[in-house]
Every structure is written in C-alpha cells, then in structure tokens.
C-alpha cells in the first residue's frame, strides 16, 4: 500500500483553484445533506397523518403531477410547432430564390442556363458568364436586355397590351 502525500499548490493560481474545488465539493455535500434532512422530516410528517389526510395529500399530489404533465405537453407541442414553422420558413426562402434550368443544343451539349426569378430571367453561357436577361412586364410584353444591360428589344404586340389592360 502506497501513501500519497497531500498535494500542495505550486502557485497562487493553483491554490485558488484547489480552494474553489474544495469549496464547491463542501457546498454540494451540504446541499445534499440538507435535502436528505428535509425529505426525512417530510416523511415523518406524512407518516403521522391519518389515513383520510394521507388520501387528501395523495390526491393533491396526483393533481399537481397532472397539471405539471399538461404544462410540459403544452410546451412540447408549442416547441414542435415553432420548429415546424422554422423549417417551413427556411424551405420557402430557399425555394423562393432562383431556379436554374440548363439549356442544351440539338446535339445534347450544354450551352448555358436560365435562372428564373419569377418575372425576371437571366441567361448565362456555358462558362457561367452573364449573357442577357428578360423581364415580363405583366402587360403582355417582355423586354430583353443584352450583355451590357442595354435594351435590345421586346416581344408582344399592342393587341396583347390592349386585351391585358388594367389586368394584374
């Protein structure tokens, strides 16, 4: 059997840490002892009750437990609803951004992509460089812009505009 000498702190910092650990251990042990005494005192009081009083105490305990269970279930349901709402929000935000559609030529080779943002579409070539864009004006016409951002034409006629007038 070997005897281990008590460890003495080498520095002021170690002394403080050692003292803090010892204080925490002593506090935890004292708290446990107080709780054990309180449980023993409560059990003694319970044992001294008449059977009718014990029945009332047990009924009150069951009622408190049921209320606690209901509150916990309610919190769990609200937490679940909040998590589902967050997941739906994130999924909606991710979906609301652009949708990329690849474009292939007649031989099946990739030539670029269309990025659809709703009313606006942008076009990129096979290297991912911006090639132009189109904007749906909402009145039956579409405006086209070239690589420099300059207007390059439109599609749709005045007849289309006339029939879609004031329609949103």
pLDDT at 53: 93
Q: Give every CB contact of residue 54 below 8 A, 6+ residues apart in sequence.
A: 46
pTM across the whole model: 0.37
Determine the pLDDT at residue 118.
Answer: 77
Which pLDDT score, from 0 to 100, does residue 147 have?
Answer: 86
Q: Is 145 exposed, middle or buried (0-12, 13-18, 19+ CB in 10 A)?
A: middle
Contact between residue 26 and residue 18 where contact means Cβ atoms under 8 Å apart: no
Per-residue pLDDT, 155: 81
pLDDT at 161: 53
Profile the chain (168 residues) by mean pLDDT over runs of 10 residues: 59 79 89 94 91 93 95 94 91 69 87 83 85 83 85 72 53
Q: What is the pLDDT of residues 93-134, one digit of tens each?
A: 766 566 788 888 888 888 888 888 878 888 888 888 888 888
pLDDT value at position 136? 84
Cross-strand partners of 155: 142
């Amino acid at each position: 059997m070997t005897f281990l000498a008590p460890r003495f702190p080498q520095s002021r910092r170690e002394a403080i840490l050692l003292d803090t650990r010892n204080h925490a251990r002593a506090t935890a042990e004292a708290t446990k002892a107080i709780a054990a005494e309180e449980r023993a005192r409560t059990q003694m009081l319970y044992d001294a009750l008449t059977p009718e009083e014990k029945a009332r105490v047990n009924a009150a305990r069951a009622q408190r437990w049921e209320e606690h269970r209901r509150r916990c279930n309610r919190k769990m349901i609200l937490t679940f609803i909040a998590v589902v709402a967050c997941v739906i929000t994130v999924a909606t935000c991710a979906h609301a951004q652009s949708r990329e559609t690849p474009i292939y030529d007649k031989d099946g080779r990739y030539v670029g992509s269309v990025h659809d943002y709703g009313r606006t579409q942008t076009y990129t070539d096979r290297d991912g460089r911006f090639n132009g864009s189109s904007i749906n004006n909402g009145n039956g016409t579409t405006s086209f812009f070239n690589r420099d951002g300059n207007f390059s034409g439109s599609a749709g006629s005045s007849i289309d505009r006339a029939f879609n007038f004031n329609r949103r």
